Amino acid sequence: MSHYPRASFIKSANAPAGFVPDEGAEVAFAGRSNAGKSSAINVIVNRRQFARTSKTPGRTQLINFFVLREGARIVDLPGYGFARVSEKKRDHWADLIADYFETRASLRGLFLIVDIRRRLTDFDRQMLSFAETVGLPVHVLLAKSDKLKRGQAASALLEVRRELGDVATVQQFSALSRQGEGQARAKLEEFLGLE
């Protein structure tokens, strides 16, 4: 059973004119390509194939809007691997994301999905800086925690938590074992003001 039985895709946008009306509350999900963002969204919403998962990095260049419940949305932001993208595309991406963060009154929080094996990348630091500029709270999912031994995963969590300090909260997460599912959903609902 889905936690959000009426959840559905609304639309994609590659420019602010295509954003859905700026009402209610929404939480944005971001992550470097292949970090596990689509898989995390599927687990949190508890629906297979809700946000499409892809083994091909960098395919999704659009901002995707989903409704969870009336007036509560999640927004799947495009991510990429830095090396794979042209400067022109990267500039378009940065403009689009900056525009989104700066203009969205309904934006309540950012979920940043990070591959636990890579720790924070330049992509993640850029997303944290977009959020900080507008005073947006951030929650970091250290995804694919099943890929590390328990002790290594615990060290990664401590390391990233130390680096983030007060900038963001952070937890381990696995779409495979569903570790951290409840904690992630609780944080999402806190950001959205649902209960």
Ligand X SMILES: Nc1nc2c(ncn2[C@@H]2O[C@H](COP(=O)(O)OP(=O)(O)O)[C@@H](O)[C@H]2O)c(=O)[nH]1
The CA–CA distances, whole Å, from 101 to 26, 27, 95, 98 equal: 12, 11, 10, 5
What minimum distance in Å lies between the beta carbon of 113 and ligand X? 6
Helix, strand, coil content of the chain in percent (nearest 5): 40, 25, 40
Per CB under 6 A, 143 contacts ligand X: yes
Say if residues 82 and 75 touch (Cβ distance below 8 Å): no
Picked from Mg ion, ligand X, none, the partner binding residue 39 (CB below 5 to 8 A depending on kind) is: ligand X
User: Of 32, 38, 75, 136, which lies in the binding site for Mg ion, with binding defined by CB under 5 A?
Assistant: 38
* Residue in this structure with the two tokens 């959840």, named with its chain if needed: 7
* Residue in this structure with the two tokens 């700026």, named with its chain if needed: 22
User: Of 127, 136, 157, 175, which lies in the binding site for ligand X, with binding defined by CB under 6 A?
Assistant: 175
**Residues numbered 25-44 forming contacts with ligand X, rule: CB under 6 A:** 31, 33-39
What φ, ψ does residue 60 adopt, rounded to 5°?
Answer: -90, 105
- Contact range with ligand X by CB under 6 A, out of 6-14, 117-125, 126-134, 140-148: 140-148
In the stretch 90-109, what mask flags binding to ligand X with x, by CB under 6 A? --------------------
User: Of 64, 106, 172, 174, which lies in the binding site for ligand X, with binding defined by CB under 6 A?
Assistant: 174
- Contact range with ligand X by CB under 6 A, out of 12-20, 88-96, 159-167, 173-181: 173-181
Tell me the two tokens of residue 135: 């005073």
Which amino acid is residue 186, in one-letter code?
A
Tell me the two tokens of residue 162: 């130390």
Applying CB under 6 A, which residues contact ligand X? 31, 33-39, 53-55, 143-144, 146-147, 174-176
